[in-house]
Amino acid sequence: MRVLTTTGIFSVKHPKDGDELVYGLTPASQLLVGSSSLAPFISLPIHGVFVSPFLGLGSWLQHEHSSPSLFEMTHGQTTWYMNDHDPTFSALFNEGMACDSGFIMDIVITSCSDIFQGLSSLIDVAGGLGGAALAIATAFPNIQCSVLDLPHVTANAPASTNVKYIAGDMFDGIPSANAIFLKWVLHDWGDADCVKILKNCKKAISPRDAGGKVIVLDIVIGDEPSSIKHKETQVLFDLFIMAVNGVERDEKEWRKIIFEAGFSDYKIIPVLGVRSVIEMYP
């Protein structure tokens, strides 16, 4: 409890006359309780499957750059192979991402509603169970929203929603749409893979004068961190994403893959804490 109070997870009051300490919720821990709890999302990075690889960090650092990821060295398979073949891990991952979508998308839609104005169709690429797409479709009923994900994911998609689910692979191709949405996808991949994904996105969208664009919700390192907690979060995500050979990028690194993929321009809009929206234009 001393650790948790020092880091701001709980508050503590020191009563007089030797009574027991009284602990309370803080804004951070309040996010973990109630109907809108972020517990499923927080459970993902602190689950043993992600924590255990760091026990072998010293050995991994002694390998050559081309060595398997820290996650793969520990488990003998990549994160994405495990997600495809282990139903328990897949459920943990998809529930965590759906929980995060329920939280962050309300903020994105409220503070950045203009990025969705004028769109007629949108595909949420690697959108999982469709939390983000459903939030967009609810807020903007004129936008025809779809989710593209692997067949085993779309097979478990919720029924009776106004979101269409498409089985496919973003590395093979993306169906045509006015706009493409990518939430916390590109930071999972190295530059070459990101350029391939973005090239497929560019092929799928309308021309710029018809409103075509790619909308990315991701971390931009160094993008106006307003407090020490934001800086801590940025570097901790650096450490976490390193385990799967992902990359958290600053603006220079984002610009590199954006232009290599053939886009003509981009715009970064800070949203909440360490996360920003990046609009990419063909």
- Distance between CA 260 and CA 198 in Å, rounded? 9
**What does the pLDDT look like over 14-28, one tens digit per residue?**
877 767 889 999 988
Bridge partners (DSSP) of residue 59 are none
List, by residue range, all CATH 3.40.50.150 domains of the chain.
Answer: 33-281
Residues known to be catalytic: 187
- Distance between CA 262 and CA 264 in Å, rounded? 6
- Distance between CA 247 and CA 185 in Å, rounded? 11
- Distance between CA 141 and CA 122 in Å, rounded? 12
Q: Kindly state the average pLDDT of the residues 76-85.
A: 89
pLDDT at 223: 64
Q: Name the pLDDT band for 158 (thresholds 50, 70, 90).
A: confident
Tell me the two tokens of residue 99.
């929980």
- Distance between CA 143 and CA 140 in Å, rounded? 6
pTM score of the predicted model: 0.85
**What does the pLDDT look like over 229-265, one tens digit per residue?**
777 778 888 888 888 888 899 999 999 999 999 999 9
State whether residue 60 is helix, strand or coil: helix
168 pLDDT exceeds 60? Answer: yes
Tell me what the pLDDT averaged over the chain comes to: 89
Distance of CA 190 to the CA centre of its chain: 15
Tell me the two tokens of residue 35.
């109907």
CB 258 within 8 A of CB 186: no
Q: Name the pLDDT band for 214 (thresholds 50, 70, 90).
A: very high
CATH architecture assigned to 33-281: 3-Layer(aba) Sandwich (3.40)
- Distance between CA 87 and CA 231 in Å, rounded? 34
